[in-house]
Amino acid sequence: MFTKLPELFERNFLIGYFVPVLSFLVASLFLLGEFGVLPPTLTTNLTITSEVDALIGVTVIGLLTWVVSIFLLAMNRDIVRVIEGYGGWNPARVFAGLERRHYQRLCREISRLNEEYRACHDEGQLFPPQKHARLAQLLQERVGHFPDDAQWLLPTSFGNTIRAFEVYPRVMYGVDAIPGWNRLLAVMPEAYAQLVDNEKAIVDFWVNMWLASLLCLVEYVGVALYTHTIVAPLLPPIALALLLFAYLRARSAAVEWGDMFKAAFDVFLPDLHRKFGFTGTRKPRKSNMPPGNSSARRFSTPIQTICQNGRGRSEGEDKQGQFSTDTA
């Protein structure tokens, strides 16, 4: 969503796509073999009788993995959005209530601890270190795993973790994440962009491992119903455990990816501002940014205009970010 497409057979492509697809193909062949439903011709081709057969088999599996990986790469955005919970018919929407209640409980506990802190401060008492640590932990969880407002909540914890850093440029600098990121890439050093891509590759790996586990589980159920037999009964629990583990790891990796994403705006947004030739002398418009970010608002407001309008500056606005008085 936020990164350029990786080159084929690049490190990030191999990690994020090739390895999960290869893992799924191997698991699928093993599963079909256990059920005894592999086509005879395929069984014959998979039988290694010489080095030539081994080379042919490896080549065929490698090409198949490569083709499926390319397809998976093209579908990456849609797959991620499904796991995030987008779509009116998305089954993940059943978790929306859980996420909302989790967010509300988190906010209530933060408010309660803040009130206790203010009461201790007013009475000149020391706020208990345990409660202070708990408050810091809750604040970190809310910032890292939830957006700034309940209206932006998504049905899944993975989706809210991504939404948490998607709203960061808007909250801090008044810049929409997606159009702002596309322009930020123009001034970002290639080395840093590669670091962001590396973190995104880890997210892609776990997302695709989640998908592979889900497909293996569905495949097992489908073949079992087709053959009216049950073999390797440990496979479904293993696939389910890997499904949950991959989901949790994808959410954790999204936090690391988000940290790199947020740092990019913190460090390189002033460079983008200078690239457009704005000096930031204009009085900022009203924004959703918290008080105290006046300097951030000063240089981000013209950039947000660019992102929204798709042009260098608004009509009547000069390159210093000021509006001319002779414009209606």
By three-state DSSP, how is residue 245 classified? helix
Instruction: Give me the mean pLDDT over the 200-229 stretch.
Output: 95
Residue 48: pLDDT over 70: no
User: Which of 54-58, 156-160, 218-222, 315-319 has the least mean pLDDT?
Assistant: 315-319
CA dihedral angle for residue 184, residue 186, residue 192, residue 196, rounded to 10 degrees: 60
Helices 157-166, 235-275: inter-axial angle, 10-degree rounding:
10
By three-state DSSP, how is residue 111 classified? helix
Q: Name the pLDDT band for 245 (thresholds 50, 70, 90).
A: very high
pLDDT, residue 273, reads: 84
Give the distance from CA 299 to its chain's centroid. Answer: 27
Which DSSP state fits 286?
P
Distance between CA atoms of residues 168 and 266, nearest Å: 10
> Residues with Cβ < 8 Å from 266, sequence gap 6 or more?
172
Strand partners, 317: 323
Locate all alpha helices (DSSP H) within 85-189, ordered by sequence: 96-122, 129-145, 157-166, 168-173, 177-184
Asked if 188 and 249 count as a contact pair (C-beta separation under 8 A), the reply is no
pLDDT tens by residue, 160-210: 999 999 999 999 988 888 888 988 998 999 999 999 999 999 999 999 999
Instruction: Give me the mean pLDDT over the 71-96 stretch.
Output: 93
Q: Which residue has the higher pLDDT, 328 or 174?
A: 174
Provide the sign of the torsion angle of the four alpha carbons 241, 242, 246, 247, taken in this order. negative
Strand partners, 323: 317
**Angle at 228 (CA atoms; ends 223, 231), nearest 5 degrees:** 65
Name which of 272, 301, 269 is nearest 285 in CA terms: 301
Residue 158: pLDDT over 50: yes
pLDDT, residue 289, reads: 46
pLDDT, residue 322, reads: 35
pLDDT, residue 7, reads: 59
Name which of 172, 118, 170 is nearest 292 in CA terms: 172
- What pTM did the predictor assign? 0.80
Instruction: Give me the mean pLDDT over the 58-72 stretch.
Output: 89
Residue 306: pLDDT over 90: no
Residue 265: pLDDT over 90: yes
User: How many other C-beta atoms lie within 10 A of the C-beta of residue 185?
Assistant: 17
Structure tokens, 204? 């892609």
* DSSP per-residue letters across 68-94: HHHHHHHTHHHHHHHHHT-STT-GGGG
Binning the chain into helix, strand and coil, the percentages to the nearest 5 are 70, 0, 25
Q: Name the pLDDT band for 43 (thresholds 50, 70, 90).
A: low
Q: Name the pLDDT band for 301 (thresholds 50, 70, 90).
A: low
Instruction: Give me the mean pLDDT over the 121-138 stretch.
Output: 90
pLDDT, residue 286, reads: 46
